[in-house]
Structure formats: C-alpha cells, structure tokens
C-alpha cells in the first residue's frame, strides 16, 4: 500500500468517527483531496487508491496537471478552490467542474459567459469571510444573500453552497465557531429559497470540528499528500 493510500484511509477513518459523533452518515461528507503544489503522479496515486475529487489553487499549475492526467479526465472531478482573478476565469470555466472561491459577481458573470455550451453548468460555491479577517477573501456574511441570489440567476452556473477558510486555531471549540456561523448562513439562504446542498469547510487541522458543524465537503491536503514545499 502506498503512503498516499494509507493517508487516505486514515482521513476516511477520521471523517467516519466525526460523522458518528455528530450522528450523521459518513457518506454525507465528501472528501476533496487538495493537490496544490503536488505533482500529477501524486494525484494519480490518490486516484488509484479510489479518490475522485481533487482541489487546486493555482490556475497555471492546475492546467498542466489536468493535461498530464487527461486519460483520467472523464473520471476525475476538478475543483478550483483558490482566489480567482478576472483575467484567469476562462481556463477555469473551460476545464473545471467546480469553483469554490467566488466572492464577487464579476467573477461569476465571467465564468458563466465563458463556460462552454457543451459542458454541464459549472458548480459554484460562494466564499464567505466568516472570521472577518481583512486579509481573507470572501464576501461578508451580511452581503451573502444578495450575491447568492444574483449568482443563482446566471445561466451556466449552478450555485451549490458556501465555502469558508476560517482563521486557524488550535482549540476545538474555537474551531467550531466559524463553521457554526457558515452553517447558520447556509440555513438562512436555504430558507430564502436558494437550493443549496454544499458546505465546503474544514481542512486537515479542523476536519472534525467542521464535520460536527455540518460540513458536506472537507478540503484535505496535508493529511493526504504530506507537508507542502512552496519553494518552487
């Protein structure tokens, strides 16, 4: 068994324990393997171990990886989860299945306009700044409803839910609070008639807190692929 396969099994076990603690089905939590900075060979190893959904943060890096893994394209789900500039939307609209990091209407409009007719609607999540950090991307919770309504009207997008990247903290109760805020906002938007089904929250360090607070998709990189090297 490869190290990546062992790590995937360990992450699935963590998800299962957290789901049982939350009285949820483990199948209600989807695992997104965050492969940014790791080579295509590592993605292939994870694929061979049964993983199908992969998250990328950088447009150029991800495009070369998608090309290198073209033989798997019909069976891989590619998620763009990083900040997206308006001049980089076209390749994302053309190559990805999901975008988690929308926080401006302009980006959503460009993705909708540039999504090829031959492809199904692009699944998108609204990134919400739940921690209130000035340095963080994301729409303010108070502005999320208006933006979500506008995005839901765009023809080639399918608004699936909300995403957050909270401020890191070591305390488990403190970890749960921002996820609780996102879940409350998710419930508010659904009550307003938006057909949302996805809460993309939780990473390697706070997976359990996110699952306890209702995450339907956790974005796990380090616990699967190892420590990242950003020097290149």
Tell me the pLDDT tens digit for each residue of 59-84: 999 999 999 999 999 999 999 999 99
d(CA 142, CA 168): 22
Q: What is the pLDDT of residue 172?
A: 82
Residue 21 makes CB contacts below 8 A (sequence gap 6+) with 208, 211, 212
Give residue-wise pLDDT tens across range 12-41. 999 999 999 999 999 999 999 999 999 999
- CB contact at 8 A, 60 and 91: no
Residue 230 placed within a domain: no
Q: Domain holding 196: CATH number?
A: 3.20.20.10
Chain position carrying tokens 């393997």: 33
pTM: 0.96
133 in a structural domain: yes
For 40, the domain range is 3-225
Mean pLDDT, range 44-73, rounded to an integer: 97
Domain count, the chain: 1
């Amino acid at each position: 068994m490869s190290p990546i396969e062992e790590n995937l099994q360990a992450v699935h076990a963590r998800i299962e324990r957290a789901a049982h603690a939350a009285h949820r089905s483990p199948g209600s939590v989807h695992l997104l393997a965050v492969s940014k900075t790791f080579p295509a060979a590592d993605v292939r190893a994870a694929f061979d171990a049964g993983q199908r959904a992969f998250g990328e943060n950088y447009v150029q890096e991800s495009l070369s990886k998608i090309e290198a893994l073209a033989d798997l394209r019909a069976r891989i789900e590619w998620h763009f989860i990083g900040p997206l500039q308006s001049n980089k939307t076209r390749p994302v609209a053309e190559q990805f299945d999901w975008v988690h990091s929308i926080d401006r209407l302009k980006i959503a409009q460009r993705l909708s306009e540039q999504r090829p007719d031959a492809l199904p609607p692009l699944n998108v999540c609204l990134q919400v700044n739940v921690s209130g950090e000035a340095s963080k991307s994301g729409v303010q919770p108070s502005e999320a409803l208006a933006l979500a309504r506008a995005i839901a009207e765009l023809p080639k997008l399918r608004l699936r839910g909300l995403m957050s990247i909270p401020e890191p903290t070591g305390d488990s109760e403190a970890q749960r609070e921002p996820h609780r805020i996102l879940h409350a906002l998710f419930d508010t938007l659904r009550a307003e008639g938006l057909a949302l089904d996805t809460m993309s929250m939780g990473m390697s360090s706070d997976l359990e807190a996110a699952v306890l607070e209702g995450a339907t998709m956790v974005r796990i990189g380090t616990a699967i692929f190892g420590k990242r090297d950003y020097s290149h």
